[in-house]
A and B are shown apart, each in its own frame.
Chain A
Amino acid sequence: MRRSLRYLAALLLATAWGASSAAGQGATRQETVVIVMGREPSNPIPTLWRGNTAAQDIMDLLFLPLARLGPNFITVGEKDFQPALARSWVRRDSLTLVFEIDPRARWHDGAPVVAADAALGLNLARDPKVSAGTALLLRRVASATAEDPAHLVVRFTEAYDEQFYDTIFHVFPLPSHLIDSIPAGQLDRSAYASAPVGNGPYKWVRRVPKEQLDLAANDQFFLGRPGPRRVTVLVAGDPDAMLNLLLSGTADVLQTLGPVTNIPRVKADKRLTIYPLPSFSVGYLLFNLRDPADLSRPHPILSDRDTREAIRMALDVPAMVQSTFGAWASVPVGPVPELSWIRDPGARQPAYDPAGARRLLAARGWRDTNGDGTLDRDGVPLALSLNFPGTSAPRAQIALLAQEQLRKVGIQININRLEGPVWSERRSQGNFDIDFGSATLDPSPYGLIQSWSCAGRGGSNVGYYCDPKVDSLLTLGQLRQKEAKALYREAVQTIVADVPAVFVYSPTSPYTISSRIRKVELNAVGPFSALWRWNPGPLP
């Protein structure tokens, strides 16, 4: 009897094992694209995504904006944009834009997409109760109304060059027939937020919190039939687990490959292809110009421009970037990512000149009076703290290299590798000497005003840098379309000359994608916005 039971149990186990081995194979897997993300796309709904880039990526699959940025990411005027939900647009006057909605567009529940939906999306995004951040960006939009079901009229409070960009970049239409009755402040707690209905190439199927998100192809998508029939997003917080999911063939797409040492390992696998995608991110060593102990006073060391310049001269930035990223990052000149349309290809990084740095420091009175290897002045050592989030391996490596290079000219750097929330808290409170931050910038160069203008102090400008010339150049850049590029570049040159930071790297993301997927298109401002055109082939 006991032996029979054992056999039965073993048989059951073997059957279950065998049955599950057959699961997930065949056509379904072949037509599915499985993406691994390091973070859960918690709220992939326009205006509610709150800076969660994973949610933004999913939003691009669920929703279709009025238009998209063109391949050059030029944010001024209206010419460089590509139609999406709006099949055309006209400018009535310097304060009015009119969009014509494509009549073929449908929500996932079958309802037609109308101008009122686009107006609702824009008006919700302007509501500080829903998203104060977006409301700030859209502060010059006076109104958005539906003239008729096909025409959206957007009026602005003043004439400026990025009216079109403001209307389409931060805003997606939302289904008025489903969310009109939901109070604005409660949208993220509504049933709609837990199963959003969009108008994009993929429909919401299900979410397993912190594990998985499933989307299915929307066959009614008016721009074409999506190639991948299903998109599954796996959430894995651990970089090794993410890489293993890719290497084992469970996943097809990995956004973050981790350290560059992983790249040869992936390259050796013929089943995978790496697609380099330049980003809008910039990593920089930010100087605090105020005293961390009392923000009303200037910083005792870093408020001096020549000292900051000496620190910059003592750092061999290209060598640090090369040893950390290899070919997967460039050195930006100023807070300008590689893809920005205002980037000046002729601009050069200030030279690495440790001897010049020593001379400059000596001229400012810094000498090693006690022979301990660290310069001092009036009994105060030239010692600074450098904060960065411990989760960033590249920043950890560069911080060590910077510490060593600065030690050679007599500057002592005390490295603080901090937990993310602690680092962020100290940064926002101005409690640092040097902060090694990284920011993903908007394609609009006017976004520089947040972190590098006098007006931004106390907000995103945590280093308290202020040069009124930069403020006026940025404002003029947005008002004068023909001179915009030159004005923005001059603003950047002024920032670089003032040395409020050392701009270290602008990374290129190695997107790793299964070689079975063909016609891969990636976009720096929405990596998966063209995923529906991908063509998944047979499993290897």
Chain B
Amino acid sequence: MIPWLARRMAQAVLTFVVVTVLLFVLMRLTPGDPLERLTGDRAVSAEETAELRARFGIDQPIAAQFRAFVLGALTGNLGVSIEHYPTPVSTLLASRLPASLLLGGTVILLTFGLGVSLGVLQAVRRGQRSDRWLTRASLALYAMPSFWLGLVLAWYFGIRHHLLPVAQMHDPLLSPDAPWLMRAGDTLQHLVLPAVTLTAVSVAAVMRYQRTALLEVLRLDFVLAARARGLPERLVLWRHAWRNALFPVIGLLGLWLPILVSGSVFVEQVFNWPGLGSLAANAVGARDYPVILGTAMLVSALVLLGGILADIGYFVLDPRVRRA
């Protein structure tokens, strides 16, 4: 396994380097002036513009900018934000990461927990009324734009009935020194609507994957043999069939890991959730090059890591992969 893993890691590192270089170059070639957001509609003199360009190093040729970026990145310095000068990019990413991990982690847990359970239920009750209704409901949710569903939920639960907060991650008036239990409960309340929105629009994919995979496995001979041996149906389903129907879902989980940090830009914006997705979207709009690059690097690293973890999952769980 170790040579295989080393090869896989080397591929990932190479991919990461290529992606970073491409991102850097493409971003600089994209039209747009990063100083626009900084200066608003105020008249700015040529001297001030030159001073600002020199401050952020964007007056240099692309090669010089890239050299400075690489030298900084090797020492863990991703530069400073143009829009939030002089805040370092690493500080901005670190301040946004917990919110993204919390939302992304909750959504992944809910999506896969619910998706797998409901997918199995549908496969077991194939063609029955519950299967048909779950299919209709999940596809209806899947077809809904997440920002629209978010707005509807915010209106109903937050504005009409005042049951849940409609935005932010914390009550703005809650003191940072409040007891942790109070802060945890407050965060939990704020988490409900964005997490439910994202889960609702994404659970259908996992359900469909799980249902299809399990139906295929349930038709195979070894399941028939297990039943013929008189094993209880529960054991046949969970120990024999479900384990073998899990591989497509593991692959899907690997692809979903980036959501841990990137979240959904639309949902983060609708609920003003302070995650990395909205940070990146805002940075793109402002041409805040260092922040765009920092978030993109983080997300691409997670995509690659997700792929490797999924492969390791296959490797461990599926003997056919090990033999290959």
Contact = CB atoms under 8 A, between A and B. Distances in A.
A378 B151 CA distance: 54
A88 interface: no
B41 A16 contact: no
Q: Which of the listed residues B32, B151, B272 has the most CB atoms from chain A within 10 Å of its own CB? A: B272
Contact of A238 (B36, B91, B270): B270
Interface string B224-257: 0000000000000000000000000000000000
Interface string B61-98: 00000000000000000000001111100011001000
Contacts of B84: 40, 42, 209-210
Contact of A51 (B42, B165, B274): B42
A262 interface: no
Interface stretch (A28-36, A404-412, A469-477): A28-36
B34 interface: yes
Nearest to A42: B84
A20 B279 contact: no
A425 B272 contact: no
A132 B184 contact: no
Contacts of B147: 240
A421 B39 CA distance: 11
A322 to B, nearest CB: 25
A29 to B, nearest CB: 6
Interface stretch (B173-181, B199-207, B305-313): B173-181
B159 A244 contact: yes
Contact of A421 (B36, B87, B168, B188): B36
Contacts of A419: 32, 285
A19 B38 contact: no
Contacts of A303: none
Contacts of B155: 244
Interface string B169-203: 10111101011011111111100000000000000
A459 B185 contact: no
A18 B182 CA distance: 8
A370 B304 CA distance: 58
A450 B43 contact: yes
Interface stretch (B46-54, B107-115, B118-126, B135-143): B46-54
Interface in A107-153: 128-129, 131-133, 135-136
B162 interface: yes
B167 A236 contact: yes
Nearest to A247: B159
A234 interface: yes
Contacts of A424: 32-33, 36
Given A244-B158, A250-B166, A459-B43, A20 B174 contact: yes
A60 to B, nearest CB: 16
B189 A248 contact: no
Given A20-B189, A23-B174, A428-B33, A234 B168 contact: yes
Nearest to A451: B43
Contacts of B286: 420-421
Contact of B51 (A13, A132, A212, A244): A132
A459 B45 contact: yes
A34 B48 contact: no
Given A19-B181, A20-B183, A132-B51, A439 B41 contact: yes
A384 B162 CA distance: 51
Contacts of A212: 172
A51 B39 CA distance: 5
Contact of B31 (A209, A240, A425): A425
A450 B173 CA distance: 43
A18 B122 CA distance: 36
B40 A50 contact: yes
Nearest to B286: A421
A248 B36 contact: no
27 contacts: A17-B188, A19-B182, A20-B174, A20-B182, A23-B171, A50-B39, A52-B38, A132-B44, A132-B47, A132-B51, A208-B95, A208-B274, A209-B92, A210-B84, A210-B279, A211-B169, A237-B272, A241-B270, A244-B155, A248-B154, A421-B31, A421-B37, A421-B286, A421-B287, A428-B33, A437-B41, A439-B41
6 closest residue pairs by CB, A with B:
A16-B185, A421-B32, A51-B42, A51-B40, A132-B48, A20-B185
